[in-house]
Amino acid sequence: MSKIKDPLLAGKGKAELEWARKNMPLLEAIRAKFQKEKPLKGEVISVALHLEKKTGVLLQALAAGGAKVYASSCNPLTTDDSVAAALAQSGIEVFAWAGQSQQEYYSCLNSVLDAQPTIIIDDGGDLINLVHTKRRKLLSAIKGACEETTTGVMRVLAMQKAGKLEIPVFAINNAYSKFLLDNQFGTAQSTVEAVMRATNKLIAGKTVVVVGYGWCGRGIASRMKGLGANVIVVETDASFGNGPAGVHKALLALYDGFRVMDMRKAAKEGDIFVTATGNINVISSDHFKLMKNGAILCNAGHFNVEIDEPSLRKAAERVWQPKENITAYQLKGKKTLYLLSEGRLVNLARPSGQGHPLEIMDGSFALQALCCRLLAFSKRLPAGLHPVPQEIDQEVARLLLKSVGIRLDKPTKMQQKYAESFEYGT
Ligand code: NAI
């Protein structure tokens, strides 16, 4: 029997979804409103998101809003099969399972596109890329897309710069209610949790090298330090986009109290390495040679390219899997390095990766649901990368505060007037 039709698995998944729903008050409120108002009636939403319980709660809210939902994962290792089975039972068309080959992964992406979407939800840009290349016939019916992560937004931006972006895309990642919270605190907690689950090793006293001090890296470094690790940060002397450059991030790390150095130097010191750069081969064959016997490597960046696994495999005399989520590479001279979750998103690759905490995804996915509603309602927006409207971004933050019983004072008229008097540079 295929896993997706297994009633026992579906029962387990249903319990997972119920637990998530109880702890995601924003999405639950959106689902209730959508159920009544049916703002997504007639929409076909094709989705590529890590298919686990929090995503399930989002998908059920979209379906309650009247959409027909087709779901695949955005990564071959991150589907929770029990949630996938429960979702399939609840009427969502699911094309995902844990442990896909690359070919199966792309075949599932194509299956969700076969539904002829009017809206796309993407994480990493694979669906958006497919409809602009091999599935171009679908473009004319697509009202727009929502992109969840940093790497996906960068890919969409590159398409826009090349004049190749033909649909509107909401940059969900760039909303404050997303990257300030999800990338930083969500990735941090789930990455630390996944390293501990996969290895069962003590973090205190270890030297942990965090490569990339962006939003994700900053969170991981801070939480590893909180557990007693001696944290080293590696940044790059380069600048990507308009934001702070690697040199600024390196100073930020230094002033946050971390040792900062280049990768070759850090390679000799680390017990545990975590990459979070969105870049390629940031840990490569030059570095493996320098590492200590027993060093543990993992990646929290979107694609499995940050640690040069093919080179590691090539250099190894023996490769084996001592346990789930760990691959061992015995190099010449009998040194062994351990790679977690094949170098894919360690915090999401199952079974040790459980994804971000519920409260974090409640905020991120509330942005997704509200931007889908906007795409359904708006006259066709111009092609291009669009920021999440400020009202939605601030409303989600306000509701997240409300969900934990916090409300803030509104400014007095005098304060408002005083603050606004500076807005024109006077
Ligand atoms: P960011 O742009 O804020 O940070 C990336 C940092 O890496 C920058 O400071 C950059 O200077 C640095 N960097 C780039 N190349 C480097 C190199 N060769 N050596 C050292 N540092 C280098 O990006 P953010 O938001 O932190 O995302 C990082 C990656 O994590 C992206 O791929 C993103 O899609 C992914 N992501 C993963 C999540 C997860 O659940 N694991 C959640 C959110 C984002």
| Structure confidence at residue 424 (pLDDT) | 55
- In short, whether 347's Cβ falls inside 6 Å of ligand 1 is yes
Of all protein residues, the one whose alpha carbon is nearest to atom 32 of ligand 1 is 278
- In short, whether 211's Cβ falls inside 6 Å of ligand 1 is yes
The predicted-structure confidence for 390-418, as pLDDT tens digits, reads as follows 999 999 999 999 999 999 999 999 999 99
Assess whether the previous peptide bond of 351 is cis (omega < 30° from 0).
yes
Helices (H), 116-214: 126-132, 150-161, 176-178, 187-199
Of all protein residues, the one whose alpha carbon is nearest to atom 18 of ligand 1 is 282
| Structure confidence at residue 4 (pLDDT) | 83
Outline where DSSP puts E strands in 5-162.
Answer: 44-48, 68-72, 93-95, 119-122, 144-147
Which whole number is the average pLDDT over 123-148? 98
Distance from the alpha carbon of residue 217 to the mean position of ligand 1, in angstroms: 7
pTM of the model as a whole: 0.94
Distance from the alpha carbon of residue 150 to the mean position of ligand 1, in angstroms: 7
| Structure confidence at residue 423 (pLDDT) | 65
Q: What's the gap between Cα 327 and its chain centre?
A: 23
Distance from the alpha carbon of residue 301 to the mean position of ligand 1, in angstroms: 6
- The lowest-confidence range among 249-253, 334-338, 375-379 is 375-379
Domain ranges of the chain: 7-178+355-403, 186-343
Task: Give the mutation target among 149, 154, 286, 356 for probing the ligand 1 site: most ligand atoms within 8 A of CB.
Answer: 149
Distance from the alpha carbon of residue 267 to the mean position of ligand 1, in angstroms: 19
Structure tokens at 87: 């979702």
Q: Which atom belonging to ligand 1 lies closest to the Cα atom of 241?
A: 2
| Structure confidence at residue 425 (pLDDT) | 53
Of all protein residues, the one whose alpha carbon is nearest to atom 37 of ligand 1 is 301
> Could you say which of 3.40.50.300, 3.40.50.150, 3.40.50.1480, 3.30.2130.10 is the CATH number of the domain covering 7-178+355-403?
3.40.50.1480
C-beta of residue 128 within 8 angstroms of C-beta of residue 152: yes
pLDDT of 17 over the 90 cut: yes
| Structure confidence at residue 380 (pLDDT) | 86
Which whole number is the average pLDDT over 193-210? 98
pLDDT band at 55 (very low <50, low <70, confident <90, very high): very high
Of all protein residues, the one whose alpha carbon is nearest to atom 17 of ligand 1 is 236
pLDDT of 241 over the 90 cut: no
Q: Which atom belonging to ligand 1 lies closest to the Cα atom of 154?
A: 34
Q: Give the rounded percent of residues in the chain with a pLDDT score beyond 90.
A: 94
Task: Give the mutation target among 51, 148, 150 for probing the ligand 1 site: most ligand atoms within 8 A of CB.
Answer: 150
Distance from the alpha carbon of residue 215 to the mean position of ligand 1, in angstroms: 7
- In short, whether 345's Cβ falls inside 6 Å of ligand 1 is yes
- In short, whether 183's Cβ falls inside 6 Å of ligand 1 is yes
| Residue 252 phi, psi dihedral angles, 5° rounding | -60, -45
- In short, whether 151's Cβ falls inside 6 Å of ligand 1 is yes
pLDDT of 174 over the 90 cut: yes
Of all protein residues, the one whose alpha carbon is nearest to atom 3 of ligand 1 is 214
Task: Give the mutation target among 55, 75, 174, 183 for probing the ligand 1 site: most ligand atoms within 8 A of CB.
Answer: 183
Distance from the alpha carbon of residue 258 to the mean position of ligand 1, in angstroms: 18
Which whole number is the average pLDDT over 130-142? 98
Distance from the alpha carbon of residue 162 to the mean position of ligand 1, in angstroms: 23
| Structure confidence at residue 426 (pLDDT) | 46
pLDDT band at 68 (very low <50, low <70, confident <90, very high): very high
pLDDT of 242 over the 70 cut: yes
Plot region of 91 (φ>0 → left; ψ -120 to 50 → alpha; else → beta): left
Which whole number is the average pLDDT over 150-172? 97
* Calpha distance 11→22 (Å, rounded): 17
Structure tokens at 105: 């992964």
Cα–Cα separations (whole angstroms), residue 273 to 35, 89, 304, 347, 381: 45, 40, 14, 14, 43
Which whole number is the average pLDDT over 26-40? 98
Average pLDDT of the chain is 96
Of all protein residues, the one whose alpha carbon is nearest to atom 9 of ligand 1 is 214
* Calpha distance 128→112 (Å, rounded): 12
Distance from the alpha carbon of residue 212 to the mean position of ligand 1, in angstroms: 6
Q: Which atom belonging to ligand 1 lies closest to the Cα atom of 239?
A: 11
Architecture of domain 186-343: 3-Layer(aba) Sandwich (3.40)
Outline where DSSP puts E strands in 212-284.
Answer: 230-234, 259-261, 272-275
Closest listed residue to residue 78, CA positions, set 56, 111, 62, 107: 56
Q: Which atom belonging to ligand 1 lies closest to the Cα atom of 281?
A: 18
DSSP secondary-structure letter at 278? S
Cα–Cα separations (whole angstroms), residue 403 to 29, 169, 394: 11, 29, 14
pLDDT band at 2 (very low <50, low <70, confident <90, very high): confident
Structure tokens at 181: 């919270």
Query: H or E stretch including 207?
Result: strand 207-211
C-beta of residue 86 within 8 angstroms of C-beta of residue 104: no
